[in-house]
Amino acid sequence: MLKILNIVGARPNFMKIAPIQREMRRRENDFLPLIVHTGQHYDAAMSDSFFADLGIPAPDFHLEVGSASHAVQTAKIMTAFEPIVLEEKPDWVLVVGDVNSTIACALVCAKLGVKVAHVEAGLRSRDRSMPEEINRILTDSISDLLLTTSQDADENLKHEGVSEDKIIFVGNVMIDSLFHGLKRAENSNIRQNLSLTEKEYAVLTLHRPSNVDEKQIFENLLDALCEISRQLPIVFPVHPRTKANIEKFGFAEKVANSNIKLIEPLGYLDFMRLYSGAKLVLTDSGGLQEETTALGIPCLTLRENTERPITIEMGTNILVGTNPAKVTQTAFEILSQKNVSQNKKIPPLWDGRTAERICDALLKITGLSQNA
């Protein structure tokens, strides 16, 4: 029996932990899973609604750290998490993704000699100005089990000198949640509530500090998006950071005069219902590049690099950058084509069964499975 602490902190963690937690509970003779929520995200729309939509049990431990600078937030998580590890003595701590909660909890465990499994290991944007890239590199370098979503991630880790026996290619657990939720998302009324017709709108998300924290960069992007919205209405669920900056930079009027509709951040199933019916998605998110690939929806990634190249090689993602002329031109090209996503493929092991393979991998590396 393995006692596991499953860590969640920020919005993109919840859909990764949900299927893992469910699979561990199903295998009750092998696993005792507990949930630790760091509280990095705390608004109902950024956290609680995901527990409800994804059927995640209430956290066993809540660290309630909230927002702060990177150093303060990371330190607060570490300080609050250490006594829990000492008290609970888990066999494994499982961290997902690349947020501050991921590295903070992994670092506590590395110092205490407690084993860490990193889900979504090995992704690299090669852009160290991204806080997530630092979190990825550091977390991978101190984890005992590196569970990867695609084989390019395995290659990245091997090039960094990680021993092959620590790396297991398990596929993309976020796609487990996607396939699990698709049917239930049909009950969402979000399209009716916003008077949207399938394939007659675009969805936008934008929250990276590099895109929204500097006035000129954000304004250039917004101008491009306003122009696209004249051809296809855009629905924009706004992250708290972005919302604050729209107000701070005085962009509210510009948006109000466009065909971009700002709405509050959505829950998991409402958002799935929204993007799954979109003709086009524009985003700087990591997860959405993968979700659109799994559903065959054209996606323009508003960044200069991506840690998820498989979504470009096999999927529907186009790395368009942030040059406004290029963004509008590429969007208009996609909108003028009829079947743009026809030949796109779903990457290997993005099949809805990754949580099973993660559990198998944990048993195997601990020497508990029959074929270990």
* Cβ neighbourhood burial of 264 (10 Å; 0-12, 13-18, 19+): exposed
Angle of the 173-185 helix axis to the 287-295 helix axis, nearest 10 = 60
- Which of 328, 327, 233 has the alpha carbon at shortest distance from 277? 233
Which residue in 21, 7, 18 sits closest to 80, CA to CA? 7
Pick 12 or 277: Cβ nearer ligand UD1: 12
Residue 249: CB minimum distance to ligand UD1, A: 15
Give first-to-last CA distance, the chain, whole Å: 15
- Rounded to a whole number of angstroms, the minimum distance from the CB of residue 294 to ligand UD1 is 18
**CB nearer to ligand UD1: pick between 237 and 352:** 237
DSSP 264: P
Catalytic residue among 41, 118, 207, 239: 207
Q: Is 106 exposed, middle or buried (0-12, 13-18, 19+ CB in 10 A)?
A: buried
Minimal distance, residue 71 CB to ligand UD1, in Å: 12
For the bound state, the minimum distance from the C-beta of residue 360 to ligand UD1, rounded and expressed in Å, comes to 28
If the CB atoms of residues 173 and 226 are measured against ligand UD1, the closer one turns out to be: 173
Both tokens assigned to 162: 């990680």
Q: Which of 99, 133, 93 shows the shortest CA–CA distance to 115?
A: 93
Q: Which residues of 299-311 are buried (b: 16+ CB within 10 A; e: fewer)?
A: bbbbbeebbbbbb
Q: Measured from the CB of residue 149, what is the shortest distance to ligand UD1 in angstroms? A: 16
Does residue 207 carry a catalytic annotation? Answer: yes
Q: 367 near 31, Cβ under 8 Å?
A: no
Q: 64: helix, coil or strand?
A: coil
Give 7 or 196: the residue with its C-beta nearer to ligand UD1.
Answer: 7
Q: What is the DSSP letter of 130?
A: S
Give me 80's structure tokens.
């609050």
Q: Which C-beta is closer to ligand UD1: that of 11 or that of 308?
A: 11
Binding residues for ligand UD1 (CB under 6 A): 10-12, 40-43, 46, 67, 98-100, 131-132, 207, 239-241
Based on CB atoms, which residue is closest to ligand UD1, 188 or 211?
Answer: 211
Q: Report the alpha-carbon distance of residue 50 to residue 69 in Å, rounded.
A: 24
CB of 10 to ligand UD1, least distance (A): 4
Provide the annotated active-site residues. 207
